[in-house]
Chain A
Amino acid sequence: MNQEISIQTADFSLADEVALLEQDNAIDGAIVTFTGRVRNHNNGMDVSGLTLEHYPGMTEKSLAKIINIAKTRWNIGRVKVIHRIGELDIGEQIVFVGVTSKHRHDAFAANEFIMDFLKVQAPFWKKERTEQGEAWLDAKATDDSKAQKW
């Protein structure tokens, strides 16, 4: 596995993903992982969960493009991106980005880069369930400015 993208309804195991990134990979001394979870509070409202929609086909293509750009900018080994879709409850894992590299700097930077661009380019949409009903989340301007810094 050099790079893998998985869009799935099922949960994932951080330990299993790290094991896969490490397996038969003595060349890389660094593994950086990021896991995103469902928060219980957003925009001043209690959130009971959310539903994630995506654009099948474009999602995989856009993530592959982001990973390819990261590979041209940093000396990285393996990359794994998991994004869950469907109904998710508070505290559940939504997204995983794992990157390996020989030295830590490349894996740290590439992981954050992939996550920042996933946020503004990958076609996923969150709909929150709150006491007031369901509502689509608005995009954050801070996410755009974070991606632009790269």
Chain B
Amino acid sequence: MIKVVFFAALREQLECSELTVSSENITTVADLKLQLASKNEQWQALFGNTSLLSAVNHDMVDSEQAIKSGDEVAFFPPVTGG
């Protein structure tokens, strides 16, 4: 299983802060994004946003990053701290 977490505006728009998905058929962050986007039209629009950032096990990564069962993957909008 892969733990998926969402933050900030994305978390509110999805009305979801975390979920788990089966790692079957998922080898990269891009695969996971496609699977999440297939849930409905709203999720498709949100995960189609190219400015969305992703992290695997607390490291910022790009969509080609390999992922496996046990990983924690996060999706969030560009950061605005400081």
Closest B residue to A121 using CB positions:
B60
Chain A residues near B51: list those with CB within 8 A: 139
Closest B residue to A83 using CB positions:
B81
Is A71 part of the contact surface with B, judged by Cβ < 8 Å?
Answer: no
Is A150 part of the contact surface with B, judged by Cβ < 8 Å?
Answer: no
User: Using a Cβ cutoff of 8 Å, how many contacts connect chains A and B?
Assistant: 72
B55 touches A54 (CB 8 A): no
Interface string of A96-130 (1 = CB under 8 A from B): 00000000000000000001001111111111000
Is B25 part of the contact surface with A, judged by Cβ < 8 Å?
Answer: no
A53 touches B7 (CB 8 A): yes
**In-complex Cβ contact of A52 among B55, B59, B81 (8 A):** B81
Write the residues of chain A forming the contact surface with B, with a CB cutoff of 8 angstroms. 36, 52-55, 57-58, 61-62, 83, 94-95, 115, 118-127, 136-139
